[in-house]
Structure 1
Amino acid sequence: MESPAEILPGVIFYSYLSSQRKEKACVWNQHTLVLQVSGQMILETAEQNINISAGEVLLIHKNQLGTLTKTPGSSGHYETIVISLQEDLMRQIALEEKMEAQRKYTGLPNLCLPNNAFITGYFQSVIPYARSAGHEMTNEMGLLKVKEGVKLILLAVPTLRNFLFDFSEPHKINLEKFMLSNFHFNIPIEKFAQLTGRSLSGYKRDFQKIFNMPPRKWLQDKRLNEAWHLIERKNKKPSAIYLDLGFETLSHFSNAFKKKFGKAPTVG
């Protein structure tokens, strides 16, 4: 079985590992539930740093960028079950249950859910399907499981209806602040535009006004300037930072660094 495996296509996923892995530029387009079955996961965003261990459940807000670090536990295993709360399904639940957001959600974008017996039991009921690659789970059963999970979340924390049932489009956010916090993520310009609540043309236009240069050139310069600071002032090795700064390969990073600063990136 490949990892991650789709248990219900596009909705329920099962991930397992036997060695630590760091994933860059994770983009959550939908609200997402994560059950940590074994091992440990660290979620890092511009606003939060959250560590969850076996038995804990994390709710991640849509329209975010972040980094995941996955570490196996003492048993040597890392397992998670991930449920993507697709907007179409959430709208269906809202109609069926006559639920709607009462006001704009203003709390933390990512939060650990209360570890009560109902939520624990719910995820325990999903684990066998996940470990068998979903062979026994029909689409109907899978969707029922997602609906059950949403209802149990609301039973535990009723105020999360404002989190779950806000179907408004992402509003225009402070582009300068967002880019300064997230420049190191290696994602397409189109995705940056979406996450800041803009069309691609609107994003490029606003970006030019704020930074006085096109997005791709600014991103390259910003990442290289940060690399120079880390290497020259913090004695960081190029091999330890290039991925974290949005470069896909060490050779690409080294060539870009040399072209900008006239020398290869070396410590000391």
Structure 2
Amino acid sequence: MGYQSQYIHPDLKLSRFEDTFYKADVLFEQHLLVWLISGETKIVHGDQTFWFGAGDILLFSRNQLVTVINYPKDGLQHQSAVMHLGKKRLTDFYSRNKVEVRQVQPPRFRTFEKHPLLKSILHSLIPYFELKEPLPESIASIKIEEAITILRTIDPNIDHLLANFDEPGKISLTDFMEQNYMFNMSMDKFGYMTGRSLTTFKRDFKKTFQTTPQKWLTEKRLELAHYHIRERKRKPSDVYLEVGFENLSHFGYAFKRRFGYAPTEIVGR
């Protein structure tokens, strides 16, 4: 059995991953507050890797690309409690709590380690997952507003993230693609993140890079994989997911076609 998601409310769920690992390149449409109950989570971006374990609390920002790989650990499945902080709820909250918002570069994610206030509110959700009926909206609202209030107490600057409701605008294609080519997303999503329609994205991409998006993405991902295996002495099986490939055998085929030798033969070259 792979992934299970148990919703007690549209904004509150318990996620379980029972396979060896689960990998996803995600673009969250809402901010997500996540408490890791068991297992391990690896977050990858370029040559940066971050590991988190049971008890850690993460806030994923909306409209930010993140590669997440979840693993079971110590005989326990990967399990997490997730709270959605959606635009409608945040708009309502900040209509009652006026703030001055300045433009900031949103982080892909934030970690609050095992902060006792956040742990308390998220831990209090666990008994509700035993309900045989949905959690009433009145109770869910209290819980989510409490979490928002705690986040603001821990970090007063969090308002500049949570109260910013702007959608992505047209940005530099070169800068964005160089920073995010390892994410395995549809061309529609790449276009949305750069503030373009699919047609405009493909046209601007061809003009900028003199090739198609798929050819360019494959080349960049193979170059990154080559660097990890040769310079950082990593195993191909540990690399292919991180650089944007979904299948190890396809990665090996593409690698050999590009460089003339298999990724396992790279030592000494």
TM range (shorter): 0.7 to 0.9
% same residue: 31
Provide Cα deviations, 1:221-260, integer angstroms capped at 9, x if missing partner: 3334445556677776655544333333344445545655
Secondary structure (helix, strand or coil) at the match of 1:103 reads coil
Residues 66 and 108, structure 2, Cα contact 8 Å, conserved in 1: no
Residues 175 and 207, structure 1, Cα contact 8 Å, conserved in 2: yes
Q: Map 1:130-169; keep pairs closer than 5 Å.
A: 130=129, 132=130, 135=133, 137-169=135-167
Q: Report what 1:89 is aligned to.
A: 89
Secondary structure (helix, strand or coil) at the match of 1:4 reads strand
Residues 2 and 19, structure 2, Cα contact 8 Å, conserved in 1: no
Mean Cα deviation higher: 169-178 or 100-109 = 100-109
Q: Which consecutive unaligned segments of at least 5 residues does structure 2 have?
A: none
Per the alignment, do residues 93 and 233 of structure 1 end up closer, same or farther by CA in structure 2, a change over 3 Å counting? closer
Q: 1-side partners of 2:147 and 2:260: how far apart?
A: 56
Q: Report what 1:186 is aligned to.
A: 184
Residues 101 and 166, structure 1, Cα contact 8 Å, conserved in 2: no
Letter in 2 for 1:183: Y
Give, in angstroms, the shift of residue 82 of structure 1.
1.2
Residues 258 and 265, structure 1, Cα contact 8 Å, conserved in 2: yes
Secondary structure (helix, strand or coil) at the match of 1:171 reads coil
Q: Report what 2:15 is aligned to.
A: 15
Letter in 2 for 1:16: R
Q: 2-side partners of 1:33 and 1:267: how far apart?
A: 42
Q: Report what 2:112 is aligned to.
A: 113
The TM-score, its normalising length taken from structure 2, stands at 0.80
Give, in angstroms, the shift of residue 110 of structure 1.
2.1
Provide Cα deviations, 1:189-248, integer angstroms capped at 9, x if missing partner: 111111223322332233223211221221133334445556677776655544333333
Give, in angstroms, the shift of residue 153 of structure 1.
1.4
Q: CA RMSD in A?
A: 3.3
Q: Report what 1:211 is aligned to.
A: 209
Per the alignment, do residues 195 and 32 of structure 1 end up closer, same or farther by CA in structure 2, a change over 3 Å counting? same
Q: 2-side partners of 1:207 and 1:227: how far apart?
A: 23
Secondary structure (helix, strand or coil) at the match of 2:164 reads coil
Q: Report what 2:29 is aligned to.
A: 29
The TM-score, its normalising length taken from structure 1, stands at 0.80
